[in-house]
Amino acid sequence: MRETRTGGRRRDLPHPRPVNKIELSAEHGRLRLILAVVFLVMGAFFIAYSVANLSSKESGWNEIKVQSSEYNCSDDFVFLYCLGEGDVSATAENKAVSACYSNATEYAFQIFTNDVEYENVHNMYYINRHPNQEIEVDDILYEAFSLIQESGNRSLYLAPVYEQYDGLFHCAEEYQAVEYDPYLNQDVADYYAAITSFANDAGMINLELRGENRIYLRIAEEYLAFALENEIRSFIDFYWMKNAFIADYIADTMRANGFVRGTISSYDGFTRNLDDISGSEYAFNLLDRDGAFLYQAGVMRYNHAMSIVYLRDYPANNNLDGQYYYKYQDGGIRTAYIDTADGYCKSAVGSLVSYSPNSSCAEILLQVMPVYINDYFEAERLSKLVRDGVYSIYCDDSKILYNESSLVLTDLYEDNEVRYTTVYVE
């Protein structure tokens, strides 16, 4: 910051008082020097002791914090780890786990961000600004593209629609939100329809996977002209799906480094529990919305490594939900779950919890998205996923419906008006 000075002196400022000069005696100089050194050592000791106490960790469950000033995605996640169960102290283990977690969250941010450019990093930002060019990307990004391509899901190509919804979610007033809402603005609906028409046409836009981590984002001249006219700069984006892939990457990284007694969860519903050795019991709260009221319907309990995907058509009262939800005064809610068919946000059921001990969050998400982002809820489609080891839970009319026969559900919510019961659905 540059300091600006004025030419004249301020007369209203108080003048400093005269300073009396005091001559110090030269006697006992050696004693004063020794005492100064002693006090300096004591001060350093107490500072070191305080820092050690602040950084020390007790054995048991602790939240792992990122120790880095670099951009990272840790604000989206909570990472809990059971320290001190191995051969090293809880403090030493915390340092190692935190270092690994810090590196993973920094790297994941760099790769998946569509907002920040990094030198010599071919991330989403770079790919979007180099269409019709062959690009080599890192393993994590290539594997994510491969998984999406195998699923046949075209949501990756809705980047221009996602950008508009991002504007909707950050509106301060409802009259501003109308400018982005296809349910309330026909011009917006028409614009989204044009983009989804391009997004669903592989001849207009398609991400080619050429092997050995080489990709090619092919975009037709017609779409490029439309993009230029409408100031579109991003053609592909993971958007709200991003944290599913990041949770998987972080979890796999921690496991690869031998850190398995933990669980990582994102605020937007993606959880990876790493613990497949202790046999400890874990709990996942099941919520249900009835109009403006949010209830805890029950608790899902399990005792092994698990991937959980939790989709919901309501904000869950955390301070980050504003990124993907907008709530009107009349109770209407807009979400980030966008239908590739028309660009409208849709939720076939209030909330859906899908989980698997063998599949990743991203794999589960891509399987349940067509069921959840739909005009109608078809529960039988969830039953078909059971053969792949993906199970689901949802609420309807004060019932918790589930399709895993051995699932343990407890602590069912009850008051004078609501009593939840469980129903097994084959």
DSSP 2-27: -----SSPPTTSPPPPPPPP-PPP-T
Q: What's the rounded mean pLDDT across residues 14-26? A: 40
DSSP 89-140: -HHHHHHHHHHHHHHHHHHHHHHH-SS---TT---HHHHHTSTTSEEE--HH
Residue 32 has pLDDT above 60, yes or no: no
Residue 3 class from Cβ within 10 Å (0-12 exposed, 13-18 middle, 19+ buried)? exposed
96 Rama class: left (phi>0) / alpha (psi -120 to 50) / beta: alpha
Nearest to 79 by CA among 271, 341, 265, 295: 265
More confident residue, 15 or 77: 77
Specify whether the CB–CB gap between 209 and 236 falls below 8 A.
no
Do residues 294 and 288 lie in contact, with contact meaning Cβ atoms separated by under 8 Å?
yes
Average pLDDT over residues 59-74: 93
Q: What is the reported pLDDT for 145?
A: 98
Mean pLDDT to the nearest integer, 197-218:
98
Contact 66, 102 (CB under 8 A): yes
Q: Of residues 415 and 264, which shows the higher confidence score?
A: 264
Q: Of the candidates 133, 123, 67, which has an alpha carbon nearest to the alpha carbon of residue 95? A: 67
The alpha carbon of residue 268 and the mean position of all alpha carbons in its chain are separated, in whole angstroms, by: 6
Please provide the average confidence, as pLDDT, over all residues in the chain.
Answer: 88
pLDDT of residue 19: 40
Picking from 140, 126, 120, 135, the residue whose alpha carbon sits closest to that of residue 207 is 135
Residue, of 24 and 177, whose pLDDT is higher:
177
CA distance 311 to 244: 11
The tokens for 265 are 């969860």
The answer to which of 6-10, 87-91, 177-181, 205-209 has the lowest mean pLDDT is 6-10
Distance CA 336, CA 169 (A): 9
CA geometry: angle 328, 331, 332, nearest 5 deg: 65
Q: What is the pLDDT of residues 376-391, one digit of tens each?
A: 999 999 999 999 999 9
Instruction: Assess whether pLDDT exceeds 70 at residue 16.
Output: no
Q: Determine what percent of the chain is predicted with pLDDT higher than 90.
A: 77
- Burial label for 184, CB within 10 Å (0-12, 13-18, 19+), is middle
Q: Place 207 in a pLDDT band, splitting at 50, 70 and 90.
A: very high
Q: What is the C-alpha separation between 5 and 14, in angstroms, rounded? A: 18
Q: How many CB atoms lie within 10 A of CB 382?
A: 25
According to the model, what pLDDT value does residue 416 have? 57
DSSP lists the bridge partners of residue 299 as 285, 410
Vertex 103: Cα angle to 98 and 104 (nearest 5): 95
Length of the chain, in residues = 426
pLDDT at position 86 is 77
Classify strands 60-63 and 77-83 as parallel, antiparallel or unpaired.
antiparallel
- For residues 31 and 320, the model is more confident at 320
Residue 10 has pLDDT above 80, yes or no: no
Q: Once rounded to an integer, what is the mean pLDDT over residues 90-106?
A: 96
CB 154 within 8 A of CB 343: no
**Looking at residue 426, what is its pLDDT?**
87
The confidence band for 3, taking pLDDT boundaries of 50, 70 and 90, is very low
Q: In the prediction, which pLDDT does 142 show?
A: 98
Rounded to an integer, the average pLDDT of 186-212 is 98
Is pLDDT of 179 > 60? yes
pLDDT tens digit sequence for 38-49 = 445 445 444 443
Which has more pLDDT, 278 or 219? 219
Query: Judging by DSSP bridges, how do beta strands 205-209 and 214-219 pair with one another?
Result: antiparallel
Which tokens hold the place of 27? 């006697």
Residues 6+ apart with CB under 8 A from 151: 366, 367
Question: CA of 283: how far to CAs of 70, 255, 393, 403, 421, in Å?
Answer: 33, 21, 14, 18, 18
pLDDT bucket at 30, cuts 50 / 70 / 90: low
62: left (phi over 0), alpha (psi -120 to 50) or beta: beta
pLDDT reported for residue 22:
38
The lowest-confidence range among 1-15, 127-141, 338-352 is 1-15
Report the 10 Å Cβ neighbour count for 43.
Answer: 10
Q: What is the mean pLDDT of residues 91-112?
A: 97
